[in-house]
Structure formats: structure tokens, C-alpha cells
Amino acid sequence: MNQFKLNRKMKLVIASILVLLVLVGCQNVIDPDTGRVATEHIIGLDTPWNFSEMGFFTAILIYPMAQIINFLSEYVGVTLAIIILTLAIQVLTYRSTVKSTVMTQRMQLIQPEVQKLQEKYKDRTDQQSQMKMGQETQALYKKYDIKMSAAFTPMLISMPVLIAVWQSVQRAESVYNGSLFGYSLAVTPKTGMFDLIPFYFIVFIFMALSQALGVLGPQWLNKQAQKKLPVYKQSDKPVQGQGMMYFMLVFMLYIGFTLPAAMCIYLAVSSLLRFAQTAYIQNKYVHNKKEAI
């Protein structure tokens, strides 16, 4: 099996693992009867830290982040507290985000050349031809300084932190009892929209547009880069992994629709920051492929 196909399968496996981690991170928190976070999972400033009862993930990651939100909420309000925590996480994970984004962007930018290789070996299924294709693919990656591990390893490392942020936003007492413009942040957009409350329509639509920008925006940036950079050839063929991008977009919209409205704020802010980071990283690193990472 050629190296490129192996990498595509690896990306699919990794994406599946990420979705599974998100589902695991979000389970058993929402009370199905009320649609809100179950009271036993709420973390307040007076909630004692207990490693044995909380478990490793909650005690080490979720509890401290929830308490940061609770603490900041007393001074700046719950909405701004969520934004500050989201921004802080983006800053802390910036270095790994640079490596992952640069590799991912470069892989997408050289897709025309990869597709040309695929076309070259399309009807040559013997082992020798497949090995040769793998070697040429690796040579192409080396030419553009693409390291597969740098594209996916930082993403896998940062996932536990991101899941912890999700849960801390849901479970912080200040969020559970908090509001924005007089509307509860603990209510899900699903419930609020079914009750025809305009606020929840606005919050969900804002989150949806932000998610679309965060997921699809990098693809647009790549197209602009291909026009500006003669080193990268353009192609009219669909970008590899486009189906997965749309799947993740739909999945995130579902998450925002069914979880507390506070999550919409977190998802919207993180998406906008992610797009801004991607644009900055591409301009600083991807446009100059020889610049050290």
C-alpha cells in the first residue's frame, strides 16, 4: 500500500479518535431530564478538591479550569471569564498549533502535485510501482519540509486540554447560574429555540458562522496562497479530506445546539481565534516554506 493512502487512513483514524474523545469528555454531565448539567457535576468555589473522588482528568484539568472561570466571573462577569480562559488556552497551545497548522497547510498546498502522482500510478497496482509511488511521495514531503508527525502529534496532545475546557465551561457554577443579557447560559440553544426565544437563535447562529469560518476558512486561505505562491501548483480537483471537514463542522454545530449556551460562546470564540491564528501562521511560516519552525 502506498504511503499517501496510508497517511489518509491514519488521518481518518485520528479524526475518529478525536470524535470519540470528545464524546467521552462530554458524557454523563448533562441531566437528560432537565437538559442542564447535573447538580452533582457542578463545580463551585466552595467545592473541595478531592483526587480520589474526582478522578485524574477532572482533578488535574477540569476542576482548576472551572475554578478559574468561577474566580474571574466575580470580577469580569461569566461571559468575559469564558473568553479569557479560551484565549489563555490558545496562547498556551500556540507553539504546538504552529507546528500542526504549518504541516497541515503545506500538505493541502501541495495537493496538486500529490494528485499528479496519483494519476501517474493510477493503473499501476504492482508492488514495485506502489513502492516507487511511496518513495516519490516521501521525496515530495521532504522537498516541502513536511513532517507527518508534526501535523498530528500536537493535535493529539492538545485534545485532553480542549476537552477539559469544554467540561469546565459547562460545570462551573458561575456558568450554571450565569446569564447574558438576562438569559441563562445553562439553557441549551435547542431548548431556547424550541421556546422561540430570540437570544438563543442569535447565539447559535453566531456560533455556527464562527465554526464555518474556523473550519472552512483555512481552505480559502490555501487557495489564496496557491495564487500568490508560484512554488505551489493550483488544481481544480477537490481538496483531500474535504468530506471530513464538513463532517466535523456538522458535528460541532450539533454540539453547540445540544449543550448549554455557554458552550456556544466558547466554540465561537475558539473558532475565531483559530482562524486568526491560522491566517497569521500561514503568512509567517507557510508562505516562507524554508523558515524554521
CA distances from 16 to 178, 255, 291 (A): 34, 16, 32
Residue 292: inside a domain, yes or no?
A: no
Say which residues have a Cβ less than 8 Å from residue 165's Cβ, sequence separation at least 6: 65, 85, 86, 89, 266
Residue 205: inside a domain, yes or no?
A: yes
Residue 225: inside a domain, yes or no?
A: yes
Burial class (CB in 10 A: 0-12, 13-18, 19+), 265: buried
Burial class (CB in 10 A: 0-12, 13-18, 19+), 158: middle
Residue range(s) defining the domain that contains residue 182: 3-26+51-286
Residues of the chain under the 70 pLDDT cut: 1-32, 34-36, 105, 148-158, 221-244, 284-293
Pairwise CA distance, residues 250 & 265, whole Å:
17
pLDDT at residue 291 in the model: 46
Residue 31: inside a domain, yes or no?
A: no
Residue 195: inside a domain, yes or no?
A: yes
Residue 45: inside a domain, yes or no?
A: no
Burial class (CB in 10 A: 0-12, 13-18, 19+), 81: buried
Stretch (H or E) spanning 183: strand 183-184
Residue 106: inside a domain, yes or no?
A: yes
**What is the identity of the amino acid at 231?**
V
Pairwise CA distance, residues 163 & 182, whole Å:
28
DSSP letter at 287 equals S
Share of the chain above pLDDT 70, in %: 70
pLDDT at residue 202 in the model: 94
Q: Based on the structure, what is the number of domains in the chain? A: 1
Q: Mutual orientation of helices 242-258 and 198-228 as an angle, nearest 10°?
A: 160
